[in-house]
Amino acid sequence: MPGTSQTIALIDAESFYASCEAAFDPKLRDRPIVVLSNNDGCVVAANILAKRLDPGIMFKPYFQIQAWAETMGVAVRSSNYELYGAVSNRIAEIISRYSAWQEVYSIDESFIGLQGSPGELEAIGREIRKSVRMLTGVPVRVAMGATKSLAKVAAIGIKQTPSLNGVLHLGRYGEAQLGVILESIAVTDLWGVAGRTGKKLAAMNVHSARDLRDLDAKWARKKFNVNMERIVLELRGTPCIPLELIPPAAKDQLIFSRSFSKKITDRHDMQQVISLYAQRVSARLRAQGSLAGHLSAWAMTGWADTGTVSHSAQASVGLSTLTDDPITLTKAARVLMPKLFPTEGIRYARAGVVLTDLRQADGVQPLDLFRPEFEGRGVGQALDQINQKFATTAVGVGLGGMKAPPGWEMKRELLSRRCLTNWDELLVAAA
């Protein structure tokens, strides 16, 4: 970035999944909230009120906490990925108004580049918090430092110090004060330091962020890797991990897989699964502007299922020409059925469809002689437009075109309204 007073700001949402739920349901505000994993299995998100009631709530199975939640007035919701994705996109767009340099790091985090004094930038941070909260209802924190790693350190400080009101620029502290801050942070709490690495560092008497900062950078690279060297330098205020201003390149493999709400033992149901998953992964293929040359599918039983012997099956097929057509991909997936479902009685718990040998669509021009029957008719593009306008699964082809969800679809019995992506689930305002 141009200029000498470079600052990296990390904007992350507070308890993002739970905050999204509260933003669209006023009855949930000021209530403890937990959000469950696929098939309502276990807790994957919780707001601060829920964590205060039970600091160990994360990843507990739902059946173990169901009675406790009802007794304590804890709101429980299924994962509403459609809502969270839509809110995430809105937050990223709002943040982009404050900087020409933005990296959307995850569904609830963005880095941006800023210039100015700590006082000026903290004022901008408060304005970002205000704008995001007003336009989406989701609270965010704004943590700033000279590097990405220091911005992550500032984020830890914000979480531990409520009096900061969600905004902190580490540039407000002198060298001695910053050293005290880094000394108070365990090395395993740092961005990019995993548990196994933390154990190895502890054996070298490196326990705090300050200990890591004071290591010889070249020695850290020799003992670990170049990423550890970069973290050491970043903790000293030397930028080594730049903002990824260009979106990541298209993926070289696309997968759509899910666990079932109930075991599948019928061949027709498995055909429906494979047809539906092939169409859903083809939508992802078109979204990134790619064509696929190879398709594979797999299915397996549950590891804890005592009702059948453990079994898994996998098969693959090459495509005659690169394609993103949902009909062609569905037909190819159906060809694999004899290998995926060799006999009745197997209790399948999970399946998936995988596309590989991906190429950018604008770089492939197949001859008409080898073009599949439905290629060029724009079936996939038409499906995408309809589904984007009315609902994510408004229409499909063959066994993938179901008006009502099949009984084996992922269980989400506590799902809130998908009010930003589904016309049938728009919010109703009461006055």
Instruction: Express each pLDDT in 161-208 by its tens digit.
Output: 989 999 999 999 999 999 999 999 998 888 888 778 888 888 888 889
Q: Is residue 93's pLDDT more than 50?
A: yes
**DSSP assignment string, 116-178:** S-HHHHHHHHHHHHHHHHHHHS--EEEEEESSHHHHHHHHHHHHH-GGGTTEEEGGGS-HHHH
* Mean pLDDT over the full length of the chain: 84
Tokens of 189: 């709490």
Q: In the CATH scheme, what is the code of domain 254-390? A: 3.30.1490.100
**What amino acid is encoded at 117 in this protein?**
S
Instruction: Look at 307 and 301; give whichever has higher pLDDT.
Output: 301
**DSSP assignment string, 68-104:** HHHHHT-EEE---HHHHHHHHHHHHHHHHTT-S-EEE
What is the rounded average pLDDT of the residues 30-50?
91
Structure confidence by residue, pLDDT tens digits, 73-89:
999 999 998 899 999 99
pLDDT at residue number 284: 87
Confidence class for position 1, pLDDT limits 50, 70, 90: very low
Other beta carbons within 10 Å of 268: 10
* Alpha-carbon gap, residue 298 to 303, rounded angstroms: 15
3-state secondary structure of 258: strand
pTM of the model: 0.74
Are residues 7 and 121 in contact, defined by beta-carbon separation less than 8 angstroms?
A: yes
Are residues 171 and 145 in contact, defined by beta-carbon separation less than 8 angstroms?
A: yes
* Alpha-carbon gap, residue 281 to 273, rounded angstroms: 12
Q: In what order do the strands lie in the sheet with 43-46?
A: 43-46, 33-36, 75-77
Tokens of 1: 């970035």
The dihedrals phi and psi of 308, each to the nearest 5 degrees, come to: -155, 165
pLDDT at residue number 358: 85
H/E element holding 296?
strand 290-301
**What amino acid is encoded at 364 in this protein?**
V
3-state secondary structure of 1: coil
Instruction: Look at 219 and 248; give whichever has higher pLDDT.
Output: 219
Tokens of 130: 């205000």
* Alpha-carbon gap, residue 112 to 384, rounded angstroms: 32
Q: Is residue 20's pLDDT more than 80?
A: yes
Tokens of 210: 């300050």
| Pick from 308, 300, 282: nearest CA to 374 | 282
3-state secondary structure of 356: strand
Range name among 15-19, 39-43, 108-112 with the lowest pLDDT average: 39-43
- Which residue in the block uniquely carries the two structure tokens 């990925």? 81
Domain ranges of the chain: 1-172+417-430, 174-247, 254-390
| Fold classified for 174-247 | DNA polymerase; domain 1 (1.10.150)
pLDDT at residue number 4: 45
Taking the CA atoms of residue 10, residue 11, residue 13 and residue 14 in that order, the dihedral angle to the nearest 10 degrees is 70
Confidence class for position 396, pLDDT limits 50, 70, 90: low
**What amino acid is encoded at 94 in this protein?**
I
Paired residues of 35 in beta bridges: 45, 77
* Alpha-carbon gap, residue 138 to 13, rounded angstroms: 7
- Please name the CATH architecture into which domain 1-172+417-430 falls: 2-Layer Sandwich (3.30)
Q: Is residue 39's pLDDT more than 50?
A: yes
Other beta carbons within 10 Å of 319: 19
